[in-house]
Amino acid sequence: MTTIPSPTDVGALANRINFHTRDQHNKIDKQMSAKFAFAMKHGFIYRQGVLAFFYVFQAIEQELDRLRQEAQTPEEEQTRDILNQFWTEEFRRAPRILQDLELLYAKEFPTSASLRTFLEETTLAPELQGFVDYVHASIRSRPTAILAYCHVLYLALFAGGRVMRSTIYRSTGLFPKFPNLTTEEVVRRGTNFFTFSDAGVQAENQLRKNYKRGYELATRQGLTEEQKLNILDVSNAIFEWNTRVVTEIGEINRQELMGKLSFRLLTFVIEEWQYSDKLTRKQKSLVLATGVVLQILMMYWVLRKFF
């Protein structure tokens, strides 16, 4: 009977990816934890993050569909055969993220058609565009590279998605208000990105088990060492691109807010410092105390101006 390779089996591709990206994984995990906690306090930043990853997953799934439906070269056919052994439609993210964007952008784009026009006409920020271009180029040049994305992004999202979903359920201020929907209904409609099955936790666990098992067994044989090394390189690059895209979102918002003296700016800067991994606990306490003083002074200035 064929079994899933053990975590110590160095012949399994998934295990090799995990080993070779361990430092990168730890780095972005720390960064994402801080940025995610920060985004939970700023709905406009959270929305931008969801939007960014829509374009990333859309690019991956465009290439995945092309390989499965229109494989032409021997390596594309090889990749298609591997994908067909483990890929399941429940893992497809772009349509799920689109559902979240329909809710997050409901006030600006009340119809699906207007939202799609926005998505198609939006000019992507440089790093995000670079990541999308890299997705297409890396897979077009070496089709088996898509296996890096299938492991690094999809399984990582599955592993952390449940935690993120739980956190979001406690951060109801992220979403627009709808008079005909309860808070629970709004949150449920806005967390499709992190949901892999509407049938509940047990169904999700079984789905993940089947996907992981299929991936590990399908990739164990048939790939050359050269192909595996390329997959490892792409896996590392994915972590690097994730870091750059998340950092870019923060930079864009900082630049846009710097010219405006407002509570939003003060809150943004203070909390960004507070969640920074470059500050000690004592420094973070000082930043927090400074923020309270600044907000009091800001309130005093507003009261004097208007009263």
Binding site: what residues are annotated?
Answer: 25
Task: Note whether 168 and 40 are within 8 A (CB).
Answer: yes
User: Residues marked as binding for heme b?
Assistant: 25
